Structure 1
Amino acid sequence: MTTEQALPDPRLDVVVKGSGPALLLAHGAGGGIHGNFGLVLDDLARDHTLVGPHYPGAGGTPVAEKPLELDELADQLVASAVAAGQESFTVLGESLGSAVAVRVATRHPARVRALVLTAGFPVADPALTLAAQLIKSLAAAEQWGDVARLACLSCMSATDLTGIEPTDVDALVTQTLAVMPPGTAHHFDLASRVDVRADLAHLSVPVLVVAPTGDRLVLPDSSYRLAAGITGAELVELPGAAHVLNVADRATWLRHVRAFLRTLPARAT
């Protein structure tokens, strides 16, 4: 489980930004580096080197010709970091990216110094399973507008949605559709199949688990199970926060993450 794996040739489109200790960014299904981390990229890049690979079908990475596999994706993220000159790093995983981050840590333990897992899951819970099934079937029927509607419904909090005028709902769907990567269905297919429950006991690095308690795509209990399965993991909650963090909740997330990074030995950040 913890034997270091050989690295493939890197094939992912990568965002590299900043200077300092490395943070490897693992984005979520249907997301991307700017979509998931855009609100904090500039801040984190002030004192860290950010390496943000895009999964197949996101950013500039071509859509995969076959179903995605977790081990291959984890290895590609590490290969991207090494190609960017970063031999070790802390991994920040969001949603599906949390499972990717866990697998990175168990396949490449010598390279990973710490993990930050946000809105994550060790295995798809019922809410995510149902959403993934709907997204795959709607995508197969080319009903991308309905995929965007489902994304708005499941990824925003009740408070966020309450603040939107009914006349603006169509504009929200249009905006969501415009940033939805072409690999979304492949990403959610992988999210529905991953299972890192056996990996958790093998993690020996510092881990911060961040649970948005208003998440309706990945239930908060999934984050709690992640934290419970990892010896010594620190768990923090974002009260009422949605799966996709709004500006205020992302600012709170940033404070927690920076506080966690400050606790790590110099080489661990």
Structure 2
Amino acid sequence: MHSIHFTILPPPAILKNEIECIRIADYHGKEAVTIQVAPYGAPGMVFHHNNGHAALKHIFTHSGRSFCPPPLFLSGPVIESSIMTYKQAAFTTVQVIFKPTALETLFGITPSQLAPGWIGPQEWEALDLTSQLMEARNSQEQMTLLTTFLTSRLKQEKPRDMIVEESLHLIHAHMGSLHVKDLLNTFHLSERQFERRFTRAVGLTPQAYLRVKRFNAAIHLIKTGHFARLTDVAAALNFTDQSHLIHDIKAFSGLTPTRLAQHADDFYHEQTGYSFV
């Protein structure tokens, strides 16, 4: 991915409760590019283009689903790797990575109905936004259009499930030691009640969400070299053992830990997950 330049931008202050960050990818080469993306468990909005045309050809998932994406689309939270195939040309991709519950609060879309999957702009009143983005003269204008559109959605913001919001905070703060049963004890809910509320708001079960987040935390520890041995990474993140860690890495990335570590120059950011050519 040496010819792809990534930029990570913080969200505008007014959208900080809805957006994790914004990732911009600029590719200036001429060859076709295929990027494999490991799951991050968060929804997003993607705009991709090359001189007023769509840049992405297909998205294929590990389970065999495929999608021919329009220039602007929403994606639900996923827990499987995917392959993004771009056309043979330079391109720019702007990816807005949302907080886990933003699909419902901003768009009134129940995440469980979209996960895993994608929808085009006609399903969330953004056809005009697509044409405006395509006609924009530069990336700065595109960013202004995107943030203005999302800010306008705040006026229609839906109520939040504060128990789910607090559970997400606890998961992120205590990744290496938290179990779902700890959340049940904290909120005094039955497993069925909690799973129903969490899945509706996030689009994933609490077990699946915690698992994909621990996988990403493991990549972070492996890539930064904080631990010399996989057994130490497994222990730090409360995996049952090293075999359990290896199983999840293979399941989510399609790579063994050794091969994953060899992609030392590929792109990883703790807010956006991991991707590689």
Same fold by TM (over 0.5)? no
Q: Rg larger in 1 or in 2? A: 2
Q: TM-score when scaled to structure 2? A: 0.27
